Amino acid sequence: MDHQHAFQLKPAGAPYTCSGCGQLGFGSRYHCENNISCNYILHEECVNPVPYAFHPFFEKSSFEFHKKPPGHRTRYCDACGKDVLGFVYHCSSTNIDLHPCCLKLQRSISNENVTLELYRKVHSKCAKCKHKHVEGKFEGWSYYDGNSYCYHVSCFKDFIVENLKRGYFSQVDRSITNSTNRETQLALTSMEIAQSSRRGRTMSKYTKIAVVVFKLIFSAIFGNPISAFVAILEALATN
């Protein structure tokens, strides 16, 4: 018989997959302490879900929390387009689904004179996929500064997962002095994506703005990056 989970907040460490929603997580997490062999881990958004929720992007929807996707067909999140693998907020009347983390995405994020707004629909191409739509007619939510930088939430997730598989985060819990160049290369790769959307600025200004944009979106989607990763990005931004 499964034991009753008792959760304890753990500090940021290696990347993890949330046992509730099945989505990737960084930063702090809630780990079951009831059994030494239990690896049940939850996002903050998943450890204390609310039974009912609303979102301003879907004014006609009233969401109810489910531990498993309702029905028998494969369901996807109407924010990022990724499959629903576990915990989900579902509206039975509009048939709309949201991952817990997507439901809680901040509408506005800002730092160092850079402000990004979350949009259900946006009039700019994503800096990564170069399209307005994630796939087919599905636009997907985006973070956009209203001028140069636009990233689909879905594309940013893909970018991080791709680099996770390549080993960029295998040593992220080390101090900045002992880290390899993998995290630096990840930041530079993201900056190359952002830079392709606009020309004419100096590389140093490109670098600083792109790093801030990268850090803001990373934190909004995955939770606060661990200290070593943040230190690398901030070091790049000040050079």
**pLDDT, tens only, 120-172:** 988 788 888 889 999 888 899 999 988 878 899 999 998 888 877 776 665 44
Q: Which of these ranges, 17-31, 34-48, 202-216, has the smallest mean pLDDT?
A: 202-216
Domain match, 80 and 164 both = no
Whether residues 127 and 217 fall in one domain: yes
Same domain, 113 and 208: yes
Plot region of 188 (φ>0 → left; ψ -120 to 50 → alpha; else → beta)? alpha
Secondary structure string (H, E, C) spanning 35-102? CCCCCCEECHHHHCCCCEECCCCCCCCCEEEECCCCCCCCCECCCCCCECCCCEEEECCCCEEECHHH
**What is the pLDDT averaged over residues 95-114?**
92
Evaluate if residue 191 carries a pLDDT over 90. Answer: no
Same domain, 230 and 125: yes
152 forms bridges with which residues in the sheet? 142
Total domains in the chain come to 2
Q: What is the predicted pLDDT for the residue at 186?
A: 54
* DSSP structure class, residue 30: E
| 209 to 72, 170, 236: CA distances (angstroms) | 45, 26, 10
Tell which wins on pLDDT, 123 or 175.
Answer: 123
Q: Are residues 87 and 48 in the same domain?
A: yes
Q: Which of 80, 104, 128 is the last residue of a domain?
A: 104
Query: Looking at the structure, do residues 72 and 153 belong to the same domain, yes or no?
Result: no
Specify the pLDDT at position 178: 37
In one-letter notation, the amino acid at residue 26 is F
Q: Taking CA 25 as the corner, what is the angle to CA 88 and CA 142, rounded to the nearest 5 degrees?
A: 70
Query: To 5 degrees, how large is the angle CA 18–CA 99–CA 33?
Result: 25
Q: Are residues 4 and 113 in the same domain?
A: no
What pLDDT shows up at residue 213? 81
Angle at 162 between CA 65 and CA 115, to 5 degrees: 65
Q: Dmax over Cα atoms in the chain, in whole Å?
A: 63
Across 194-202, average pLDDT: 48
Residue 122 tokens read as: 């946006």
Query: Both 35 and 70 in a single domain?
Result: yes
Predicted local confidence at residue 175, as pLDDT? 38
* Beta-bridge partners for 6: none
Residues 116 and 139 in one domain: yes
- pLDDT digit string (tens) for 23-37? 988 878 898 887 667
Q: What is the mean pLDDT of residues 99-110?
A: 94
Instruction: Clarify whether residues 115 and 96 are in a common domain.
Output: no
10 Å CB burial of residue 7 (0-12, 13-18, 19+) is: middle
Domain termination site, one of 47, 76, 104: 104
Same domain? 113 vs 134? yes
pTM of the model: 0.80
C-alpha radius of gyration, the chain, whole number: 18
Query: What residues make up the domain containing 88?
Result: 1-104
Q: Looking at residue 8, what is its pLDDT?
A: 84
The pairs formed by 62-65 with CB atoms below 8 angstroms and a separation of 24 or more are: 62/91, 62/93, 63/89, 63/90, 63/91, 63/96, 63/98, 63/103, 64/89, 64/90, 64/91, 64/92, 65/89, 65/100
pLDDT in tens, 42-81: 988 899 899 999 999 999 999 999 999 998 888 999 999 9
In a shared domain, residues 20 and 96: yes
Please say which residue of 104, 133, 159 terminates a domain: 104
